[in-house]
Amino acid sequence: MDFLDLARARRSVRKYSDRPVPRDAIERCLRAVRLAPSACNAQPWRFVVVDDPERRRQLARAAFGPLAGFNHFARQAPVLVTVVMERASFASAAGSLLSGKRFSLIDIGIAAAHFCLQAAELGLGTCMLGWFNQRKVKRFLSVPAALKAPLMISLGWPVPDTETGPSSRKTIERVRGYGGY
């Protein structure tokens, strides 16, 4: 698939069928994550996949309680992936400190985009989620206390009748600048 067609096809899916996602499809998405660039090649991420139906239901209950009610759709996704931000390498951490930029957050965003684009190429739907109960998710998944889990991704087969046209996007003139802002 042409990259622009793939980017156009990828959308945040909020309604999934109950059809299981084959492990080889999940593994393909994870292989795409491995290829994502990161500051100083730190690769400060770990993608924790929960695809067992009962365990996924328990994780969804922990993640999407009353405070994250608007992400209720993620409860029906057959797969939930939690992105854990690992410790950055010394060089990446030093660069973050000196530049005032959290390279690790940028890096996991890029890695998550690789995951989602690979899923779209396979016909799977995803939605990146930042609003969830991180404390309960970390406890449920036994993530070390010192680490953060800033992102989750719901994954599954989109329900076809929920497909809509492309979401509205800013014009190219509003997102570009040559030689200045």
pTM of this prediction?
A: 0.90
Over residues 106-153, the pLDDT tens digits come to 999 999 999 999 999 999 999 999 999 999 999 999 999 999 999 999
Total count of residues recorded for the chain: 181
CA nearest 133: which of 73, 69, 43? 69
Domain map (residue ranges) of the chain: 3-162
Over residues 50-105, the pLDDT tens digits come to 999 999 999 999 998 766 567 888 999 999 999 999 988 778 777 777 888 888 99
Strand ranges (E), the chain:
45-50, 79-85, 125-129, 148-156
For residue 1, give Cα distances in angstroms to 13, 131, 132.
Answer: 20, 32, 33
Q: Which fold has domain 3-162?
A: NADH Oxidase (3.40.109)
